[in-house]
Amino acid sequence: MKIIAKEVIADCPGAKIVKLVLASAQISQKAQAGQFVVVMVDEKGERIPLTIVDADSQANTITLIFQVVGLTTKLLGALDVGDTLYALVGPLGQATKIKKYGEIILVGGGVGIAEIYPVAKGLKAAGNKVTVILGARTKEALILEKELKSLADKIYLLTDDGSSGEQGFTTVVLEKLLKKDKHDLVYAVGPIPMMKKVSELGLASKIKTIVSLNALMVDATGMCGCCRVRVNGEVKFSCVDGPEFLADQVDWEELEKRNSMYRVKEKHICKLKF
Ligand SMILES: Cc1cc2nc3c(=O)[nH]c(=O)nc-3n(C[C@H](O)[C@H](O)[C@H](O)COP(=O)(O)OP(=O)(O)OC[C@H]3O[C@@H](n4cnc5c(N)ncnc54)[C@H](O)[C@@H]3O)c2cc1C
Ligand code: FES
C-alpha cells in the first residue's frame, strides 16, 4: 500500500488529475480490466472506489488515476512517494468480458478516459478492431492520449474549447461513426449525461452498449446497498453486480438523483477541512 510513484498528469482549472503507482502484490496478481479498488487514506477517512488502470504482476504494483474533486481525492492527491494508505481493498467488481467481438468503439469522457484504458488494452489484445473517442474540457485534461494512440486502430480527440482535436462532444463523433459503419460493441465511461446519450445512440443503432457506472459506494462488497441502481427494472448493486451494465437497461434518472444526494454536504465538508 506504499506509494511507489506519483505524477500529476493534468493540472488546469477544473481538472487536477493524479497518477499513483502503489505496491500491492496480492491485488496486482488478481486484477482484471474493469475492476476497481476501494481506498481509505486515513483511519477516519471515507472509502472511495477507484478503477485499477494498470496492474504489473512482475513489479507487484497497481496504477490508479484520479481527478481531485472533493475531500478524499484532495487528501489522496496530497500524499507523496513513500507514504502509505491506511487501507486498500480489491480487486472488486465484475471484470470486463474480454473476447473477440469484432469492431469496437470505446468512448471516454474526462477522467473516464483512465477507466477505458485497461478495457481498450484487453479488447485490442483479444484481436478486436478498436476505435477510441476521447473527450475532455481542454488539451491539458485529455489524459492517456499517447498510450491510447499506440493501441487504437483509430482515435478521435475532442475538447470543449477546441484546444486539442475537434471542438465538441464525443457523442457527435459516435453518432457519425454508428451511422457510417457497422460495429459490434460500444463501451463508454464518463459523466452521466455522456453515458446516457451514448446509451440512446447505441439503442437507436441496435448495437450492444456497455457502460461502467459511477454509483456512490460505501463498503463495495454488496452489504450496505448504497450503490443500488435500477437495471432492466431490477435493483442491482453496482459494486458486486457491476460496475458494468447494458446501457439501455440503466435507469439514468434514478442514478443521477442518487449521485447528487450528498452534493451540498460534499461541498460543505470540503470547504471546512481545506
Ligand atoms: C467503480 C468506480 C470506479 C471509479 N473510478 C474512478 C477513477 O478511476 N478515477 C476517478 O477519478 N474517479 C473514479 N471514480 C469516482 C470516485 O470514486 C469519486 O470521484 C470519489 O469518490 C470522490 O471522492 P471525494 O471525497 O474526493 O469527493 P466528494 O466531494 O465526496 O464527492 C464528489 C463526487 O464524487 C462522487 N463520489 C463521492 N464519494 C463517492 C463514493 N464513495 N463512491 C463513488 N462515488 C463517490 C460523487 O459523484 C460526488 O458528487 C469511480 C467511481 C466508481 C463507482
Ligand atoms: S457499496 Fe455497499 S452494496 Fe455496493
Is residue 160 within 8 A of residue 137, CB to CB? The reply is: yes
Is residue 69 within 8 A of residue 50, CB to CB? The reply is: no
* Domain extent for 9: 3-92
Closest ligand, as measured to the CA of 227 = 2
For position 78, which CATH number holds?
2.40.30.10
Residue 50 in grid coordinates: 477507484
For position 174, which CATH number holds?
3.40.50.80
* Bridge partners, 108 (sequence order): 134, 189
User: What's the average model confidence in pLDDT over 94-114?
Assistant: 97
Which atom of ligand 1 is closest in space to residue 269's alpha carbon? Answer: 29
Residue recorded with cell 484520479: 66
Domain boundary among 92, 119, 143: 92
Q: Which of 123, 125, 209, 150 is nearest to 174 (CA)?
A: 209
Q: CA-to-CA distance for 35 and 240, rounded, in angstroms?
A: 10
Is residue 82 within 8 A of residue 105, CB to CB? The reply is: no
Ligand 1 neighbourhood includes 50 CB (under 6 angstroms): yes
Model pLDDT for residues 151-207, shown as the tens digit of each residue: 999 999 999 999 999 999 999 999 999 999 999 999 999 999 999 999 999 999 999
Smallest CA separation from ligand 2 atom 2, residue:
224
* Bridge partners, 192 (sequence order): none
Same domain, 177 and 125: yes
Same domain, 101 and 204: yes
Look at residue 273 and tell me whether its pLDDT is greater than 90.
no
Same domain, 54 and 149: no
| pLDDT band with cut points at 50, 70 and 90 for residue 261 | confident
Look at residue 209 and tell me whether its pLDDT is greater than 50.
yes
What is the 242 CA–ligand 2 centroid distance (Å)?
11
Same domain, 187 and 273: no
Same domain, 182 and 259: no
Q: CA-to-CA distance for 39 and 214, rounded, in angstroms?
A: 15
